[in-house]
Structure formats: structure tokens, C-alpha cells
Amino acid sequence: MKYVYLITAIISEVIATSALKPSEQFTRLVPSLLVIAGYGSSFYFLSLVLDSIPLGVAYALWSSLGIVLVTIVGIFLFKQVPDLPAVIGMAMIVGGVVVINVFSNTMRH
């Protein structure tokens, strides 16, 4: 279940972050409610994961996958295409998370 909770936390965070721009500085009700509900849900499910995954590892997974997914949402919804250095930077972040998960003793395999 820990990975179901983690995926739910990530998706909730992506929804919340993606709704920030349409909320227009919290002046539009529906996107603003999505932001609040999304972040609340995200942190709740992330807290459930912390019983079985170390905090640093859970946060690394949550944030790195969130970065990539929010970037993809930005490409399709807001036409905000990242340049090559941004893509390389995100690849390095994801690569770091892979190293943690594959080689670190902090993850229980």
C-alpha cells in the first residue's frame, strides 16, 4: 500500500501545483479550492508513507516525480516548454532518486 499512498500523494501535489496558475493568486474559487484540497491530500498521503519509507527517500520520490509531472502538465496546459538545460537538470534529479532507490541502504529492498 505504501506505493499506492505515495502515488496518490504525488498526483494530488501535481493537481494542486497545476491549479496555482489558474487560481490567479487565489482570486478564482474552483482552482483555489483545488490547490487547498490537493496539497492537503498530498501531505496526508505522504504522511502515511512515512511509516514504511524513510522521510528523505519518500520526499525525494515525491518531489522528483512531482517536478517531472508538473513540467509535463505545464507543456500541455500552459505551453511552457522547458529548454535543454532544464530538461538536463530534471534528468539529474530523477537520476539521483534512482541512485538512492537502487544503491542506498536506506531503502529496504
Q: Look at residue 22 and tell me if it is in a domain.
A: yes
Instruction: Report how many domains make up the chain.
Output: 1
Q: Look at residue 51 and tell me if it is in a domain.
A: yes
User: The pTM is what?
Assistant: 0.89
- The pLDDT assigned to 5 comes to 97
Residue 40 in grid coordinates: 492537503
Q: Look at residue 109 and tell me if it is in a domain.
A: no
Which single residue is written with the C-alpha cell 525525494? 60
Q: In which domain, by residue range, is 52 found?
A: 2-103
Burial class for 49, CB neighbours closer than 10 Å (0-12, 13-18, 19+): buried
How far is Cα 87 from Cα 43, in angstroms, rounded to an integer? 27
- The pLDDT assigned to 103 comes to 87
Q: Give residue-wise pLDDT tens across range 38-71.
A: 999 999 999 999 999 989 889 999 999 999 999 9
Q: Look at residue 37 and tell me if it is in a domain.
A: yes
Between these two residues, 16 and 107, which has the higher pLDDT value?
16
Q: By C-alpha distance, which of 103, 7, 100 is closest to 54?
A: 100
Q: Give residue-wise pLDDT tens across range 75-109.
A: 999 999 999 999 999 999 999 988 988 888 876 64
